[in-house]
Amino acid sequence: MATVSRLCVTPVKGLALLDRDEVTLTPTGVPDNRRFYLLSEQGKLWNGTKDGPLYSVRSDTDPEGESLRLEFADGRVLDERVSLGRRKFTAFWGRPVWGNVVEGPWADALSDLVGKPVQLMRAEDPGGAFDDSPVSLLSDASLDELARRSGANEVDARRFRMLVHIAGTEPHEEDEWIGRRVRIGETLLDVTYQDARCRMTTRNPDTGVKDFDTVREIKSYRGLREGKYADFGVYADVVEPGLIRVGDPVEPL
């Protein structure tokens, strides 16, 4: 039987991933997952493929997003209540996301880290700063297959920044769930489409250094969808919200 092997969140989109024993899914995702996001000086969604140092910063927040804690690799900690500024619209790959500017020390500290001005935002919808869908799924067997095909000893699952990791399937079995519903724990999900991977996955999840060409290796044995998309994992929407725990059964319907 397939089961949940791991759950990962990042309260600030693009920063280090955190493991969770359980998460609560709402229609817009996990409330403390990707609640905050970064904008460039031009007001566009920050391109995380270009800035490895952000991977070293750990973030944490409460389900309401009323406080934010950042832990930097040098030991600095910023832990304060969130004060919101003006409301702004941002395009997330064509999807409209509304949020508010987060005032306080966080943006300056992150700007210093990457060497460019960034603006910190909080999404209006809890967990709303996702790229395409609020849930992402990836099987451990797919990771093992990528490692085998590429000759790597192991491929760190964190490279792909997925919410739900699944044990007990065949490699890429999750692709077969597209167009079907899957029950995980208390939730019911509608699996929608494949997850096209970007160059962000080439970075080491601890150091942010580019050290493994995931896109090339995926392309080498899976090809490119429509001649341009290196798919690895799938997206899903939430039909029935609820709790998911590590160890919960995963049942395609």
pLDDT one-digit tens code per residue, 17-53: 999 999 999 999 999 999 999 999 888 888 766 677 8
> Is 191 within 8 Å of 235 (Cβ atoms)?
yes
Least confident stretch, 69-73, 142-146, 175-179, 200-204 = 200-204
Among 90, 123, 156, the domain boundary falls at 123
Is 28 within the bounds of a domain? no
Q: Is residue 218 located within the same domain as residue 142?
A: yes
One domain for residues 147 and 198:
yes
Would you say residue 166 lies in a domain? yes
One domain for residues 194 and 85: no
89 and 153 housed in the same domain = no
In a domain, 238, yes or no: yes
Number of domains in the chain: 2
Neighbours of 253 (CB within 10 A): 9
Q: Which of 123, 152, 186 is the last residue of a domain?
A: 123
Same domain, 231 and 184: yes
Kindly state the DSSP code that residue 176 receives in the 8-state scheme. Answer: G
- Cα–Cα distance, 136 to 142 (Å, whole number): 14
Tell whether 24 is covered by a domain: no
| Amino acid 71: pLDDT | 97
The reply to whether 153 and 240 lie within a common domain is yes
The CA distance from 14 to 58, in Å, is 10
DSSP label at residue 225: B
Shared-domain flag, residues 73 and 174: no
Please return the burial class of 83, using the count of CB atoms within 10 Å of its CB with bins 0-12, 13-18 and 19+.
Answer: exposed
Residue 60's domain spans which residues?
A: 35-123
Residue 206, in any domain of the structure: yes
67 falls within a domain? yes
CA angle 114, 156, 148 (to 5 degrees): 135
> Is the pLDDT score of 207 beyond 90?
no
Q: Residue 4, CB half-sphere, CA atoms under 13 Å: how many?
A: 26
Q: What is the pLDDT of residue 250?
A: 99
Predicted confidence at residue 5, as pLDDT, reads 99
- Check residue 49 and give its pLDDT: 67
Of 72, 95, 123, the residue at which a domain comes to its end is: 123
Q: Do residues 215 and 194 both lie within one domain?
A: yes
Same domain for 240 and 155: yes
- Say whether both 110 and 48 belong to one domain: yes
Residues 93 and 149 in one domain: no
CA angle 213/20/197 to nearest 5° reads: 25
Does any domain span residue 23? no
* 11-15, 106-110, 134-138, 197-201, range with the lowest pLDDT: 197-201
Question: Do both 153 and 103 map to the same domain?
Answer: no
**pLDDT average, residue stretch 71-83:** 96
Instruction: State the average pLDDT for the chain.
Output: 94
Q: 17 in a domain, yes or no?
A: no
